[in-house]
Homo-oligomer: A and B are copies of this chain.
Amino acid sequence: MSEKRWGVGELAAATGLTVRTLHHYDEIGLVSPSERTHAGHRRYTEADIRRLYRVRALRSIGLSLYTIAATLAEGDREALRSVLVDQLAHLDAQARRMNDLRAQVQHLLERMNTVADPGEVLTILETMQMIESYYTPEQLEYLAKRREELGEDAIKEVEQAWPQLISAMKEHQAAGTPVDDPDVQALTARWFELVEAFTGGDSGVHESLGKVWEEQGDKLNQQFDTGLSPELMAYVGRANEVRTQAGG
Protein backbone atom coordinates (compact mmCIF):
# COMPACT_ATOMS: atom_id res chain seq x y z
CA MET A 1 0.00 0.00 0.00
CA SER A 2 1.96 2.89 1.32
CA GLU A 3 5.18 0.91 1.18
CA LYS A 4 6.37 2.46 -2.00
CA ARG A 5 9.82 4.02 -1.78
CA TRP A 6 11.41 6.34 -4.30
CA GLY A 7 14.96 6.48 -5.64
CA VAL A 8 16.66 9.79 -6.20
CA GLY A 9 16.39 9.74 -9.97
CA GLU A 10 12.77 8.82 -9.85
CA LEU A 11 12.01 11.55 -7.35
CA ALA A 12 14.04 14.07 -9.27
CA ALA A 13 12.10 13.31 -12.46
CA ALA A 14 8.79 13.53 -10.60
CA THR A 15 9.52 16.86 -8.96
CA GLY A 16 11.57 18.52 -11.68
CA LEU A 17 14.55 18.90 -9.37
CA THR A 18 18.01 17.58 -10.14
CA VAL A 19 19.61 14.63 -8.41
CA ARG A 20 22.33 16.94 -7.24
CA THR A 21 19.81 19.13 -5.49
CA LEU A 22 18.41 16.16 -3.60
CA HIS A 23 21.93 15.12 -2.69
CA HIS A 24 22.55 18.63 -1.45
CA TYR A 25 19.42 18.68 0.70
CA ASP A 26 20.55 15.39 2.15
CA GLU A 27 24.08 16.67 2.79
CA ILE A 28 22.86 19.63 4.80
CA GLY A 29 20.23 17.53 6.54
CA LEU A 30 17.31 19.46 5.13
CA VAL A 31 15.60 16.53 3.43
CA SER A 32 17.16 13.16 4.09
CA PRO A 33 15.70 9.86 2.96
CA SER A 34 14.47 7.76 5.86
CA GLU A 35 16.04 4.64 4.42
CA ARG A 36 18.93 3.39 2.38
CA THR A 37 19.27 0.14 0.43
CA HIS A 38 22.11 -2.15 1.44
CA ALA A 39 23.98 -0.68 -1.53
CA GLY A 40 23.64 2.74 0.02
CA HIS A 41 21.03 4.00 -2.40
CA ARG A 42 18.62 6.62 -1.05
CA ARG A 43 15.03 5.50 -0.59
CA TYR A 44 12.56 8.30 0.08
CA THR A 45 9.32 7.60 1.92
CA GLU A 46 6.10 9.53 1.47
CA ALA A 47 6.84 11.52 4.60
CA ASP A 48 10.21 12.51 3.13
CA ILE A 49 8.50 13.62 -0.03
CA ARG A 50 5.98 15.69 1.88
CA ARG A 51 8.85 17.41 3.60
CA LEU A 52 10.45 17.98 0.24
CA TYR A 53 7.32 19.68 -1.04
CA ARG A 54 7.25 21.96 1.96
CA VAL A 55 10.85 22.87 1.38
CA ARG A 56 10.20 23.63 -2.27
CA ALA A 57 7.18 25.72 -1.42
CA LEU A 58 9.21 27.82 0.97
CA ARG A 59 12.05 28.04 -1.53
CA SER A 60 9.66 29.22 -4.20
CA ILE A 61 8.97 32.33 -2.20
CA GLY A 62 12.65 33.06 -1.91
CA LEU A 63 13.63 31.81 1.54
CA SER A 64 17.15 30.50 2.12
CA LEU A 65 17.66 26.83 2.88
CA TYR A 66 18.88 27.78 6.32
CA THR A 67 15.75 29.75 7.08
CA ILE A 68 13.62 26.93 5.74
CA ALA A 69 15.35 24.42 7.97
CA ALA A 70 14.85 26.66 10.99
CA THR A 71 11.22 27.29 10.17
CA LEU A 72 10.39 23.64 9.64
CA ALA A 73 12.23 22.78 12.84
CA GLU A 74 10.11 25.25 14.78
CA GLY A 75 7.08 23.93 13.01
CA ASP A 76 4.63 26.26 14.64
CA ARG A 77 2.33 28.75 13.10
CA GLU A 78 3.87 31.90 14.50
CA ALA A 79 7.32 30.97 13.33
CA LEU A 80 6.02 30.60 9.82
CA ARG A 81 4.10 33.82 9.98
CA SER A 82 7.07 35.77 11.20
CA VAL A 83 9.38 34.53 8.46
CA LEU A 84 6.73 35.35 5.91
CA VAL A 85 6.38 38.85 7.28
CA ASP A 86 10.13 39.29 7.23
CA GLN A 87 10.29 37.98 3.72
CA LEU A 88 7.58 40.36 2.65
CA ALA A 89 9.59 43.30 3.91
CA HIS A 90 12.72 41.88 2.33
CA LEU A 91 11.07 41.48 -1.05
CA ASP A 92 9.67 44.97 -0.78
CA ALA A 93 13.12 46.36 -0.20
CA GLN A 94 14.54 44.35 -3.07
CA ALA A 95 11.83 45.49 -5.42
CA ARG A 96 12.47 49.10 -4.51
CA ARG A 97 16.19 48.67 -5.05
CA MET A 98 15.57 47.20 -8.47
CA ASN A 99 13.31 50.05 -9.41
CA ASP A 100 15.82 52.61 -8.23
CA LEU A 101 18.59 50.98 -10.20
CA ARG A 102 16.36 50.76 -13.22
CA ALA A 103 15.64 54.47 -12.99
CA GLN A 104 19.35 55.23 -12.77
CA VAL A 105 20.18 53.12 -15.78
CA GLN A 106 17.44 54.69 -17.83
CA HIS A 107 18.56 58.13 -16.76
CA LEU A 108 22.06 57.28 -17.84
CA LEU A 109 20.89 56.04 -21.22
CA GLU A 110 18.99 59.25 -21.81
CA ARG A 111 22.02 61.27 -20.88
CA MET A 112 24.10 59.31 -23.34
CA ASN A 113 21.98 60.60 -26.18
CA THR A 114 22.84 64.20 -25.39
CA VAL A 115 26.57 63.74 -25.14
CA ALA A 116 28.84 63.57 -28.14
CA ASP A 117 32.23 62.39 -26.97
CA PRO A 118 32.28 58.75 -25.86
CA GLY A 119 34.94 59.57 -23.31
CA GLU A 120 32.57 62.02 -21.70
CA VAL A 121 30.12 59.27 -21.01
CA LEU A 122 32.64 57.58 -18.81
CA THR A 123 33.50 60.90 -17.25
CA ILE A 124 29.88 61.21 -16.24
CA LEU A 125 30.24 57.89 -14.51
CA GLU A 126 33.36 59.02 -12.70
CA THR A 127 31.68 62.16 -11.50
CA MET A 128 28.59 60.36 -10.31
CA GLN A 129 30.72 58.20 -8.10
CA MET A 130 32.96 61.02 -6.94
CA ILE A 131 30.04 62.94 -5.56
CA GLU A 132 28.93 59.91 -3.64
CA SER A 133 32.34 59.16 -2.26
CA TYR A 134 32.88 62.70 -1.01
CA TYR A 135 30.65 61.73 1.84
CA THR A 136 32.78 60.14 4.50
CA PRO A 137 31.54 56.90 6.04
CA GLU A 138 30.55 58.74 9.19
CA GLN A 139 28.50 61.16 7.19
CA LEU A 140 26.87 58.36 5.27
CA GLU A 141 26.03 56.61 8.51
CA TYR A 142 24.57 59.82 9.81
CA LEU A 143 22.49 60.26 6.70
CA ALA A 144 21.27 56.72 6.95
CA LYS A 145 20.16 57.38 10.50
CA ARG A 146 18.35 60.53 9.45
CA ARG A 147 16.65 58.52 6.77
CA GLU A 148 15.31 56.15 9.37
CA GLU A 149 14.23 58.93 11.70
CA LEU A 150 12.41 60.81 9.01
CA GLY A 151 10.89 57.76 7.40
CA GLU A 152 10.75 56.83 3.75
CA ASP A 153 7.77 59.01 2.94
CA ALA A 154 9.37 62.18 4.18
CA ILE A 155 12.50 61.44 2.16
CA LYS A 156 10.51 60.86 -0.99
CA GLU A 157 8.63 64.08 -0.44
CA VAL A 158 11.89 65.99 -0.12
CA GLU A 159 13.34 64.35 -3.20
CA GLN A 160 10.30 65.26 -5.20
CA ALA A 161 10.33 68.82 -3.91
CA TRP A 162 13.89 69.48 -5.07
CA PRO A 163 13.42 69.60 -8.84
CA GLN A 164 10.54 72.03 -8.53
CA LEU A 165 12.48 74.23 -6.16
CA ILE A 166 15.50 74.25 -8.43
CA SER A 167 13.55 75.13 -11.55
CA ALA A 168 11.67 77.90 -9.77
CA MET A 169 14.93 79.31 -8.48
CA LYS A 170 16.45 79.04 -11.95
CA GLU A 171 13.70 81.14 -13.46
CA HIS A 172 14.20 83.90 -10.96
CA GLN A 173 17.91 83.88 -11.54
CA ALA A 174 17.48 83.93 -15.32
CA ALA A 175 14.95 86.77 -15.04
CA GLY A 176 17.36 88.72 -12.86
CA THR A 177 15.02 88.93 -9.89
CA PRO A 178 16.85 90.65 -7.03
CA VAL A 179 17.87 88.34 -4.22
CA ASP A 180 15.86 90.23 -1.63
CA ASP A 181 12.64 89.67 -3.54
CA PRO A 182 10.07 88.06 -1.21
CA ASP A 183 9.47 85.13 -3.55
CA VAL A 184 13.17 84.45 -3.82
CA GLN A 185 13.54 84.78 -0.09
CA ALA A 186 10.73 82.29 0.47
CA LEU A 187 12.28 79.85 -1.94
CA THR A 188 15.65 80.29 -0.30
CA ALA A 189 14.18 79.64 3.12
CA ARG A 190 12.56 76.49 1.80
CA TRP A 191 15.83 75.50 0.12
CA PHE A 192 17.88 75.57 3.30
CA GLU A 193 15.02 74.12 5.25
CA LEU A 194 15.15 71.07 2.99
CA VAL A 195 18.90 70.85 3.11
CA GLU A 196 18.87 70.94 6.88
CA ALA A 197 15.95 68.58 7.14
CA PHE A 198 17.89 66.15 5.05
CA THR A 199 21.34 66.55 6.52
CA GLY A 200 20.27 67.37 10.05
CA GLY A 201 22.42 70.48 9.97
CA ASP A 202 25.66 68.54 9.58
CA SER A 203 27.98 71.18 8.24
CA GLY A 204 30.51 68.54 7.23
CA VAL A 205 28.15 67.43 4.56
CA HIS A 206 27.85 70.99 3.31
CA GLU A 207 31.58 71.40 3.24
CA SER A 208 32.01 68.19 1.31
CA LEU A 209 29.50 69.33 -1.23
CA GLY A 210 31.19 72.70 -1.44
CA LYS A 211 34.51 71.03 -2.03
CA VAL A 212 33.28 68.81 -4.79
CA TRP A 213 31.53 71.80 -6.29
CA GLU A 214 34.72 73.83 -6.56
CA GLU A 215 36.46 71.02 -8.34
CA GLN A 216 33.69 69.53 -10.40
CA GLY A 217 31.05 72.21 -10.70
CA ASP A 218 31.93 73.31 -14.21
CA LYS A 219 32.08 69.80 -15.56
CA LEU A 220 28.84 68.94 -13.87
CA ASN A 221 27.23 71.99 -15.31
CA GLN A 222 28.22 71.05 -18.80
CA GLN A 223 26.94 67.54 -18.51
CA PHE A 224 23.87 67.74 -16.35
CA ASP A 225 21.75 70.25 -18.19
CA THR A 226 18.85 70.10 -15.76
CA GLY A 227 20.92 70.42 -12.61
CA LEU A 228 22.58 73.16 -10.66
CA SER A 229 24.83 75.74 -12.26
CA PRO A 230 27.54 77.60 -10.39
CA GLU A 231 25.69 80.81 -11.18
CA LEU A 232 22.57 79.44 -9.56
CA MET A 233 24.54 78.31 -6.53
CA ALA A 234 26.04 81.79 -6.24
CA TYR A 235 22.59 83.33 -6.59
CA VAL A 236 21.20 81.15 -3.84
CA GLY A 237 24.22 81.95 -1.72
CA ARG A 238 23.63 85.70 -2.03
CA ALA A 239 19.95 85.21 -1.29
CA ASN A 240 20.87 83.28 1.81
CA GLU A 241 23.16 86.04 3.03
CA VAL A 242 20.29 88.50 2.79
CA ARG A 243 18.05 85.99 4.52
CA THR A 244 20.32 85.27 7.47
CA GLN A 245 21.09 88.98 7.99
CA ALA A 246 17.42 89.81 7.93
CA GLY A 247 16.41 86.97 10.19
CA GLY A 248 19.37 87.01 12.62
Contacts and interface: CB of A to CB of B under 8 A. Distances in A.
Given A61-B101, A88-B105, A126-B53, A112 B16 contact: no
A142 to B, nearest CB: 14
A132 B77 CA distance: 24
Given A77-B121, A88-B109, A109-B88, A61 B104 contact: yes
A118 interface: yes
Interface in A58-96: 58, 60-62, 72, 75-77, 80-81, 84-85, 87-88, 91-92, 94-95
B101 A98 contact: no
B81 A112 contact: yes
Interface in A29-77: 50, 53-54, 56-58, 60-62, 72, 75-77
Interface SS, A side: helix
A137 interface: yes
Which interface class (under 10, 10 to 19, 20 to 34, 35 or more) fits A?
Answer: 35 or more
B95 A133 contact: no
B50 A16 contact: no
A130 interface: yes
Given A54-B125, A88-B102, A61 B118 contact: no
Given A81-B109, A109-B84, A130 B75 contact: no
A100 to B, nearest CB: 9
B56 A121 contact: no
Of A75, A92, A94, which is in contact with the most chain B CB atoms at under 10 Å from its CB? A94
Interface of A: 14-16, 50, 53-54, 56-58, 60-62, 72, 75-77, 80-81, 84-85, 87-88, 91-92, 94-95, 98-99, 101-102, 104-106, 108-109, 112, 118, 121-122, 125-126, 128-130, 132-133, 135-137, 140
Given A16-B133, A16-B137, A57-B128, 4 more contacts: A53-B125, A54-B125, A75-B118, A85-B109
